[in-house]
Amino acid sequence: MFSSVAFRQLKKSPISVLKQTKNFASTMEGFETLSVTIPKPFVYQVELNRPKRLNTMNRAMWFEIGKCFDDLATRDDCRSIILTGSGKLFSAGIDLQDMIELGGQLAEQEDIARKCKILEQMIKNYQDYISALERCPKPVIAAVHNACIGGAVDLIVAADIRMCSSDAWFQVKEAEIGMAADVGTLQRLPRVIGNQSLVNELCLTSRKMEPIEAKDCGLVSKVFDSRDSLVAGALELAENIASKSPVAVQLTKRTLVHARNNNTQDGLDFIRYWNMTMLQSEDFINAAMAQATKSPPPTFAKL
C-alpha cells in the first residue's frame, strides 16, 4: 500500500516541485566558469561557461567542476544531471595559459623534490575534481557538440552516459603536446569502449575520432543532428531517469561503478549488502504495487 509520504508527494504538482527546486538552485550561483540551471524538475544542467575561451579548462573550472558535482551529490532535489558546453564547441581542453603560469611557479623552486611536490598536488587535485562526476550518485549525461579535446575527454569518460551531435569530434590531445594524460582518460577510456587496440591508437597518435566511429566503438550511445536536438535528447533522457525511484537509480549507479573496479563476486556481495536494506524502502513497495496493479507510476519522495 502507498505510504503517507508517497501520498503527500502525489499531492504536489510538477509546478510546485519546480518552484521548490528553483529555490535550491539559487544556492548554486556564484560559479565563474560554470552555469548551473534546472531545466526540468529534479534535472540539473551543468554547462561549461567560458565560450570566449572555447571552454578551456583553467584552474577555476577544474575546481568548480569538483565542487559543483560534490554539491549535487547531496542535493535531494537533484536526480539526474546533463553536462553541456556553451558557445560553438564543448571544450578545447586544458587552458595552456595555466600551464605557462605553472611553469613560472616551478621556476621559483630550485630543488626537484619541491617542484615535484607542487606537480603531484596539482595532478591529485585535478584527478579528484574529475572523479566527482563518478562519485556523484546521480547519473551524469554528457552532451558533446563540436570539439571535445584533451582534458574534456577526461571529463566525459567520467560521466555515465555520453551523447554527441553530428559535428562532434574527440581527441586525446596530450601526446601531441608532450605529456601523458593524467586525470582519467588512460584509466577510464579502455573500460568505456572495451577495445584496447583502439584506445592505444587514439592515445598514442592523438588523432581525431569522428561521431560515427565514436558511436560504433561505444564512446557515445547516440548521435543527434544538431546541438539543439542533442540537448533536447539529453534532457528527455535525464527527465526519464528523474522519474524513477532515486533509491533505485542511485544504488544502481553505485553498483555499476563498483563493478567496474572489482571482480564479479565482490560486485555480488556489494549489491547484496546494500539491497538487504534498500528493498525495505517505500519506493520498491510503491513501484512494485503500481506495476502489479497496472497503475500510473508513483511520485517518489526526495532522497
Q: Tell me the mean pLDDT per 10 residues along the chain, length 303.
A: 36 45 56 97 98 96 98 97 98 90 87 91 95 98 98 98 98 93 95 96 97 98 98 98 96 94 87 83 84 87 89
Nearest-CA neighbor of 201 among 209, 210, 212? 209
Instruction: Find the helix or strand (DSSP H, E) in which 199 lies.
Output: helix 196-205
Kindly report the backbone phi and psi dihedral angles of residue 294, in degrees, each rounded to the nearest multiple of 5, phi listed first.
55, 40
What is the pLDDT at residue 276?
Answer: 83
Catalytic sites, residue numbers:
94, 151, 154, 174, 182
Using CA atoms, how far apart are residues 158 and 253, in angstroms rounded to an integer? Answer: 12
The angle formed by the CA atoms of residues 54, 151 and 190, to the nearest 5 degrees, is: 140
The DSSP 8-state label assigned to residue 92 in this structure reads -
Residue-range domains of the chain with CATH? 23-244 (3.90.226.10)
Chain centroid, CA 248 distance in Å? 18
Compute the half-sphere exposure of residue 254: CA atoms within 13 Å on the CB side of its CA. 16
What is the pLDDT at residue 12?
Answer: 43
What is the pLDDT at residue 1?
Answer: 32
Ordered DSSP codes for 211-246: HHHHHHHTS-SEEESSHHHHHHHHHHHHHHHHTS-H
What is the pLDDT at residue 275?
Answer: 80
3-state helix, strand, coil in the chain (%, to 5): 55, 15, 30
Q: Residue 264 has which C-alpha cell?
A: 564479479
Using CA atoms, how far apart are residues 153 and 130, in angstroms rounded to an integer? Answer: 10
Nearest-CA neighbor of 50 among 97, 100, 11? 97
What global pTM score does this model have? 0.86
Using CA atoms, how far apart are residues 81 and 138, in angstroms rounded to an integer? Answer: 7
